[in-house]
């Protein structure tokens, strides 16, 4: 554990809590992509199967359980509890275009051809693109509420901090996880334009962040 890994975990947790509390308090999931949240729930499910096979630390176990619980609670709120506020007409990204290639790649590029390892690899690849339905939805509607952009900011910050974590581990331990690093770089690239808009528009006091409408 190093400061970048810890800060990344905290940023990730803050992002998920921000989103969950936004939906819970407002009793509305307007502007939130249910498809992205389902993909993230799938990411946590396939990644944390080792909860049943190995114990690393209390911190590790608690964080995994919290992430799983909040992910499925968020999906429940969107699709069950307050479904009437869910904008399905704007959440139209074809997730099969993500799931099929990711599943195929996880079978081709992994560290060991075992069920748990393939599922872990699948989760890493899927996480790198799971935010795309949300970004697509924001682009389609043309704007995002500030609370949603805060969620996306902390989610992107988590990935950036994890990249710093991998650099730190490489220099101090000689450890390099090619699958995690490459996937993390891809995911961080997706946030680059968003980070710029977040700093120049949201942090300067605009209640919503407007984006270019698709042609």
Q: Please provide the distance, in angstroms rounded to a whole number, between the alpha carbons at the two ends of the chain.
A: 46
Q: What is the pTM of this model?
A: 0.88
Q: Annotate 181-214 with b (16+ C-beta within 10 A) or e (fewer).
A: bebbeebbebbeebeebbeebbeeeeebbebeee
Residue 211: its pLDDT value, please?
53
What are the extents of the domains in the chain? 3-202
Residue 201: its pLDDT value, please?
56
Residues in the chain: 215
Residue 144: its pLDDT value, please?
67
What residues have CB less than 8 Å from 138, skipping those under 6 apart?
A: 31, 144, 148, 211
Check if the beta carbon of residue 179 is closer than 8 Å to that of residue 109. yes
Question: What does each of the 215 residues of the chain score in pLDDT, given as a tens digit?
Answer: 799 999 999 999 999 999 999 999 999 998 899 999 999 999 999 999 999 888 989 999 999 999 999 999 999 999 999 999 999 999 999 999 999 999 999 999 999 999 999 999 999 999 999 999 998 888 877 666 767 788 888 988 998 899 899 999 999 998 888 898 888 888 888 777 666 666 665 555 555 555 554 44
Residue 64: its pLDDT value, please?
96
Residue 215: its pLDDT value, please?
41
Residue 72: its pLDDT value, please?
97
Residue 88: its pLDDT value, please?
92
Residue 214: its pLDDT value, please?
46
């Amino acid at each position: 554990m190093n400061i970048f890994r810890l800060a990344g975990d905290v940023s990730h947790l803050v992002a998920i809590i921000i989103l969950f509390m936004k939906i819970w308090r407002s009793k509305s999931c307007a502007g939130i992509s249910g498809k992205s949240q389902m993909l993230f729930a799938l990411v946590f499910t396939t990644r944390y199967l080792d909860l049943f096979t190995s114990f690393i630390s209390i911190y590790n176990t608690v964080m995994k359980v919290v992430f799983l619980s909040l992910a499925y609670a968020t999906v429940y709120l969107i699709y069950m509890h307050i479904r009437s506020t869910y904008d399905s007409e704007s959440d139209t990204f074809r997730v099969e275009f993500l799931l099929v290639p990711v599943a195929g790649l996880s079978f081709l590029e992994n560290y060991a051809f075992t069920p748990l390892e393939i599922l872990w690899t699948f989760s890493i690849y899927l996480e790198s693109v799971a935010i795309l339905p949300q970004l697509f939805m924001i682009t389609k509607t043309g704007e995002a509420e500030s609370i949603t952009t805060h969620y996306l900011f902390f989610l992107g910050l988590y990935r950036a901090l994890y990249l710093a974590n991998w650099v730190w581990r490489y220099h101090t331990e000689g450890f390099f996880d090619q699958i995690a690093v490459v996937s993390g770089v891809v995911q961080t690239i997706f946030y680059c334009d968003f980070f710029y808009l977040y700093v120049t528009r949201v942090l300067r006091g605009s209640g919503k962040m407007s984006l270019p409408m698709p042609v």
